[in-house]
Amino acid sequence: MFEVTKAEEEEKSSSPPSSPMPVPAPAKSNSSLRVTVPSELQGVAYIEVLCQKDQEDLCSANINLLNSAPTTANPDVHWQQKLEAAQNVLFCKELFNQLAKEAVQLQAPIPHMVVGNQIMATVLPGIQLVIGLCHSTSSEKKSSQLTPPPSKSDHDHVLEHSLHQLLREVHHKNTHHPFPHPSSAPLGPSKKRYLAGPMAADRYELLEMTQSETLLEQIIKQAQHFFMRMRTEYVLDTIAKEVKDPLISSHWNTLNSPTQSCVKINISTHGYDAVCRTPLVIHVGEKSLKCICRDGKVMHMSYEPQELRDLIFCHINQHQILAVQALAKTMGWQFLGNSNHLGLGAVEPLGNASSCLLASPIGDRLIAVRCEPQSGVQVSVVHSPRTDFFPSRLVTERKWEHLGGQFREVRLEKMEGRNFLHKMELLMASLTSNS
């Protein structure tokens, strides 16, 4: 492919100078070697990975040219730069051929497509992964300078870094084989396969050793995780903007793998952080989410963002109920009971309603709190003894007046207070009697 010859010495021009003060020509670096590169390895080449949602844009995707890399057709380029540019073109073509071969051999639920210099694979429903080989020569570059380059999508450095890291790991595995290296055995098998005979491995264990992920499968998994992380970030940011009370803060782990991330969510109320805080830990995988709740319960969710949104809203309601109970203890109120899945009232379209019942220190006031995912928080109050109790022929004793009457709803929007817990603190303080 490459032809390396000795460069001939340039003939010195013997023509006399045309002016008495000749202008010295710029110094030109002469090389002792001359490299001849075939036309198919000249120019600039790179592989572009695109993720698209609209299927109509797959066939009309345009690829921009790289203007920073040197062209091998320029005779003034140093021979080492020529070899590096040709090696880059050869690497991109070999890598694309390997990915195209794997795309044809893999049996996916939605078959992969290889059309020309593009590989199209389905990452998630409605999301396509397009891997294209971009190769341009000097003649193509001159003709493309007349037309403006097409608009390019947003460049993501995180995905690019993870793909470069993946290629580096594959290269390291191919060049660094595990020890020991027997003199009569081929290089490449792992240490487990070397020990399969002495350890008497069965057929099932041998099949597990031979199974390995292809390069295209690893790229697809990284793209799936990339979109799952983007969806999770969007859902959390949207809920944090919509819900002002309580506050929702997300803390992403900085040390993540290319196919798994972790985010910790804290649900708290401003000014009452020390009273109650609801933590959540979400592990973002490739096609699923795993949520570890406050009580240690583990919940698995699919790639649909609505499931994560419903889970966050349900935990917001539970946080309000738990925060009211913790605040009641600090105020000296008695906690009578609660229910996270209340069966009374209208059926909720999302989740279940939660409620709790609180009593004043001497038991003459009761506060009922009902929290619904859609309707919000409802607070009702009842007094004991009843002010509208009158003895009758059936109920003659005065002790029955301590049962209380019907609960009366409190209009929280008319109360003073910066948030829900602040209003509940003022309400419990006003209902607490000194007697």
Q: pLDDT at position 62, please?
A: 34
In which element (H, E) is residue 119 found?
strand 118-124
How far is Cα of residue 285 from the mean position of the Cα atoms in its chain? 8
Higher per-residue confidence, 363 vs 100: 100
Q: pLDDT at position 387, please?
A: 60
The string of pLDDT tens digits covering residues 221-233 is: 888 888 899 899 9
Assign 312 a pLDDT band (cuts: 50, 70, 90): very high
Q: pLDDT at position 283, please?
A: 95
For 40, the token pair is 């198919």
Dist. CA 213–CA 204, nearest whole Å: 18
Mean pLDDT lowest among 115-124, 172-181, 270-279: 172-181
Higher per-residue confidence, 121 vs 385: 121
Mean pLDDT lowest among 23-37, 78-92, 348-362: 23-37
The string of pLDDT tens digits covering residues 368-395 is: 999 887 778 889 998 876 666 566 766 6
Instruction: Evaluate whether 117 touches 96 at the Cβ level (below 8 Å).
Output: yes
Q: pLDDT at position 401, please?
A: 62
In which element (H, E) is residue 338 found?
strand 334-342
The string of pLDDT tens digits covering residues 138-190 is: 655 444 443 444 444 566 667 777 777 777 887 777 777 666 666 665 666 66
Q: pLDDT at position 146, please?
A: 36
Dist. CA 98–CA 105, nearest whole Å: 11
Instruction: Evaluate whether 95 touches 117 at the Cβ level (below 8 Å).
Output: no
Show me where the domains of the chain are located. 31-136+154-172, 221-316, 317-434
Higher per-residue confidence, 19 vs 235: 235
For 367, the token pair is 């506060």
Assign 36 a pLDDT band (cuts: 50, 70, 90): confident
Q: Which residue stretches of 52-194 are H helix?
A: 79-105, 138-144, 157-175, 191-194
Neighbours of 47 (CB within 10 A): 18
The string of pLDDT tens digits covering residues 39-54 is: 777 777 777 888 877 6
